[in-house]
Amino acid sequence: MSGSPKGAASVVVSWIRRLLLGLVGLVLLYQLWLFGWVVLWKWVNPDMTHFMEIRLAELQAKDPRAQLKKQWVDYGRISVHLKRALIVAEDDLFTQHDGFDWDGIQKAMEKNQRRGKIVAGGSTISQQLAKNLFLSPAKTPWRKAEEAVVTLMIEAVWSKQRIFEVYLNVIEWGNGVFGAEAASRHYFGIGAGQLSPEQAARLAGMVPSPRFYDRNRGAPGLASKAALILTRMPSARIP
């Protein structure tokens, strides 16, 4: 009988199956949408990232007229010193890995376990770029999983030089300051191609906490980080 408990359970199972298939379809469509942007940005420079949109909304909540400081510059017009400094500071195996530094991830997990909270992420330049382009800063399992998927997309479609070029142009470097050109002018009044090794090391040292160092430019911790980066820059391998 259609009104029996067995028949009702069958209807419920059927609807659950349809719902799950629908959710899987939506997830796949979302991944295809992301992949479309990754393919487009292989040749077209992204004007805004999701992370920029988040920061701009925060700024405009306080001042509706606020705008971001950003200016795209091609890879060849960015100081080699800054490229070396960022590789040293953020991902010294960038040219060798496939998007993930497994040793770095393991060390970060061990450090987090010792501290009892998330204090290190072990993210590569490719992972940082994936997050900045599409995702939120929230440290949730879903966001980390999506970050891994987008990282694989980027590594599969773009060259290492293209990944690094986009990264250099979209990362946050201060309160509303994004990219190497805007950062160079914001802190030193010069273009990104004119940075000295010392200036480049200082900018690279700011990357983990750019808004803090924008407000506290004389922080002793930044000076010591920059000095360490400077000593390691000659050995950096850049794309």
Domain limits for position 28: 1-40
Same-domain status, 138 and 64? yes
Question: 170 burial class (0-12, 13-18, 19+ CB within 10 angstroms)?
Answer: buried
82-97 pLDDT tens trace:
999 999 999 999 999 9
Same-domain status, 28 and 146? no
CA angle (20 as vertex; 14, 25 as ends), nearest 5: 125
CA angle (79 as vertex; 73, 85 as ends), nearest 5: 115
pTM greater than 0.85: yes
pLDDT in single tens digits along all 239 residues of the chain: 445 676 677 777 777 777 777 777 787 899 999 999 999 999 999 999 999 999 999 999 999 999 999 999 999 999 999 999 999 999 999 999 998 887 766 665 555 555 554 444 569 999 999 999 998 887 788 888 899 999 999 999 999 999 999 999 999 999 999 999 999 999 999 999 999 999 999 999 999 999 999 999 999 899 999 999 999 999 999 99
Instruction: Give phi and psi for 101, each to the nearest 5.
Output: -100, 95
- Total of domains in the chain: 2
Same-domain status, 3 and 33? yes
Strand partners, 178: 70, 172
Same-domain status, 205 and 220? yes
CA nearest neighbour of 126 among 82, 83, 71, 165: 165
CATH code of the domain covering residue 158 = 1.10.3810.10
Same-domain status, 160 and 51? yes
Same-domain status, 141 and 221? yes
Same-domain status, 17 and 93? no
pLDDT of 141 reads: 83
Tokens of 103: 């040793």
Residue 188: C-alpha distances to residues 63, 166, 167, 194 (Å): 25, 22, 20, 10
3-57 pLDDT tens trace:
567 667 777 777 777 777 777 778 789 999 999 999 999 999 999 999 999 999 9
Same-domain status, 5 and 32? yes
Instruction: Label the pairing between strands 69-70 and 172-174.
Output: unpaired
